[in-house]
């Protein structure tokens, strides 16, 4: 039994009292300092109070997620499943994680892998494919292998995929890139960023290391998953007829894509494409104002050379209107699926329709004269070619990149929401309400 030591206040110990526990085991008595027992209890109490405080704080600043009509896009799962059983229910899909990184991104890569393995891949063991426009060094490769038991391949991206095309006058486009920096456009003067956006828009799915896969999950350095993922998203995407999946939809910076929507809208009319998903990107989804302007054949746009700026500006004004984001009465609301997380089928890209769209858009030079991101490019392509029912919102996932964050809350599994970050669904720059209108009758 436990009890206070009767010798605690003996004459020898009056000046230095020692609080002890005494436990009798058989004929022997063990004396245990009270601090050894009390410290773990105190730590456990403080941890419980801290977790409770975080929960209360998050609940006060983040109301429950709103209910939506999800008949076109239901959750694949709600709450937790038996992951061990789930992982044995079907064979692994032909899928990989895709991570574009440089050697200097090692710390951020390790952070992402640790989070992804903890919340998902330690159960499902999908392989990783790392890509870099320079060779990976041995330190990077050896370190990454320490954090996962999954197979890993490292590949280099050639200049034909990550650089300027051969048929343009590079100095002219470098001048346009520098001009974007002078105008304060985010990453506008970073030439490698333009290469990256163009690579993910029209080339990554052609990389030799990825040709053998049907599905991919894009992962960026320095991302955090805050809910367990107790099911295989690749399997459920195929089971439910989904082609493209996202977790965050936000509005793009308008000065990065002043012409992208107009070109895409012109292409849509030229090809006579009709998809209800296009309404997700319209300022007024229910209105389609007819214009008397001649429909533009976007295939006629070609690269400019010597008198680059004046000719390009003239062609843009002649062919695509002077307004920043209008086309035939349509106005771009700047919404897009944030592509630093996306789970999708390579079939979305590896077909004649997408290839023709990319080549047509690429001929405008917009990846250089503007800072077209792969996120709005993928999104508008989805609006052209996919049905609403073929896109999935992973609303049960918890995901953070930079200071933009979504938490699955009560929809997900073991979610540990981060109170210091606002929920993107409630943010002014988010596009949740636009999605709710497209997939159903809006909010319930």
pLDDT by residue, tens only, the chain of 444 residues: 444 444 444 444 444 445 455 555 555 555 556 677 677 777 776 765 655 555 555 555 567 888 988 889 999 998 999 998 999 999 999 999 999 999 999 999 999 999 999 999 999 999 999 999 999 999 999 999 999 999 999 999 999 999 999 888 899 999 999 999 999 999 999 999 999 999 999 999 999 999 999 999 999 999 999 999 999 999 999 999 999 999 999 999 999 999 999 999 999 999 999 999 999 999 964 444 333 333 344 444 443 333 444 445 544 434 433 443 445 678 999 999 999 999 999 999 999 999 999 999 999 999 999 999 999 999 999 999 999 999 999 999 999 999 999 999 889 999 988 888 899 999 989 999 999 999 887 776
Phi, psi angles (nearest 5°) of residue 145: -65, -20
Phi, psi angles (nearest 5°) of residue 392: -120, 135
Strand, coil or helix: 128: strand
The β-bridge partners of 391 are 244
Give the pLDDT score at 224.
97
Give the pLDDT score at 55.
52
| pTM confidence score | 0.81
**Residue where the block lists tokens 């606002």:** 422
Strand spans (E) along 211-345: 215-218, 223-225, 244-246, 249-251, 326-327, 330-331, 335-337, 342-345
- Can you read off the two tokens belonging to residue 198? 């163009």
User: What's the Cα-to-Cα distance from 93 to each of 215, 216, 217, 319, rounded to whole Å?
Assistant: 8, 10, 12, 45
Known catalytic membership, residue 425: no
In our burial notation (b when 16+ CB lie closer than 10 A, e otherwise), range 91-126 reads eebebbbbbbbbeebbeebbbbbebbbebbbebbeb
Q: Which member of 342, 370, 390, 425 is catalytic?
A: 342
Q: What is the DSSP string of 35-51?
A: HHHHHHHHHHHHHHHHH
- The angle at the Cα of 87, spanning 85 to 90, to the nearest 5 degrees, equals 105
Domains and CATH numbers, the chain: 83-282+327-439 (3.90.550.10)
Answer yes or no: are the C-beta atoms of 209 and 346 closer than 8 Å.
no
Non-local CB neighbours of 25 within 8 Å, separated by 6+ positions: none
| Residues 415, 51: Cα–Cα separation, whole Å | 12
């Amino acid at each position: 039994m436990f009890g206070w030591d009767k010798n605690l206040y003996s004459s020898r110990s009056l000046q230095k009292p020692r609080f002890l526990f005494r436990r009798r085991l058989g004929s022997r008595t063990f004396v245990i300092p009270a601090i050894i027992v009390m410290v773990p209890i105190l730590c456990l109490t403080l941890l419980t109070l801290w977790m409770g405080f975080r929960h209360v704080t998050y609940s006060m600043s983040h109301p429950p997620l709103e209910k939506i009509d999800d008949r076109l896009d239901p959750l694949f799962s709600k709450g937790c499943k038996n992951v061990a059983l789930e992982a044995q229910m079907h064979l692994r899909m032909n899928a990989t994680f895709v991570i574009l990184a440089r050697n200097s991104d090692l710390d951020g890569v390790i952070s992402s892998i640790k989070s992804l393995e903890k919340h998902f891949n330690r159960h499902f063991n999908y392989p990783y494919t790392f890509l870099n426009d320079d060779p990976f060094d041995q330190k990077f490769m050896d370190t990454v292998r320490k954090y996962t038991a999954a197979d890993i391949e490292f590949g280099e991206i050639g200049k034909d995929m990550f650089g300027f095309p051969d048929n343009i006058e590079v100095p002219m486009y470098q001048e346009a890139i520098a001009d974007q920096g002078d105008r304060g456009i985010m990453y506008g003067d970073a030439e490698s960023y333009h290469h990256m956006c163009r690579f993910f828009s029209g080339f990554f799915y052609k990389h030799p290391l990825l040709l053998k896969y049907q599905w991919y999950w894009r992962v960026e350095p320095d991302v955090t998953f805050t809910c367990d993922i107790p099911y295989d998203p690749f399997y459920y995407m195929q089971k439910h007829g989904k082609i493209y999946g996202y977790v965050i939809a936000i509005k793009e910076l308008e000065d990065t894509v002043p012409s992208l929507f107009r070109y895409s809208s012109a292409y849509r009319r030229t090809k006579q494409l009709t998809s209800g998903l296009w309404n997700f990107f319209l300022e007024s989804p229910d209105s389609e104002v007819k214009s008397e302007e001649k429909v533009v054949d976007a295939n006629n746009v070609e690269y400019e050379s010597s008198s680059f700026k004046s000719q390009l500006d003239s062609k843009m004004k002649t062919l695509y209107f002077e307004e920043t984001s209008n086309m035939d009465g349509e106005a771009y609301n700047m919404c897009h699926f944030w592509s630093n997380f996306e789970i999708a089928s390579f079939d979305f890209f590896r077909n004649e329709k997408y290839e023709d769209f990319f080549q047509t858009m690429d001929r405008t030079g917009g990846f250089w004269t503007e800072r077209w991101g792969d996120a709005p490019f993928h999104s508008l392509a989805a609006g052209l070619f996919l049905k609403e029912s073929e896109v999935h919102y992973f609303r049960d996932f918890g995901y953070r990149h930079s200071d933009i964050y979504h938490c699955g809350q009560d929809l997900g599994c073991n979610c540990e929401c981060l109170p210091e970050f606002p929920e993107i669904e409630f943010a002014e720059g988010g596009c949740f309400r636009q999605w709710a209108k497209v997939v159903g009758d809006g909010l319930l």
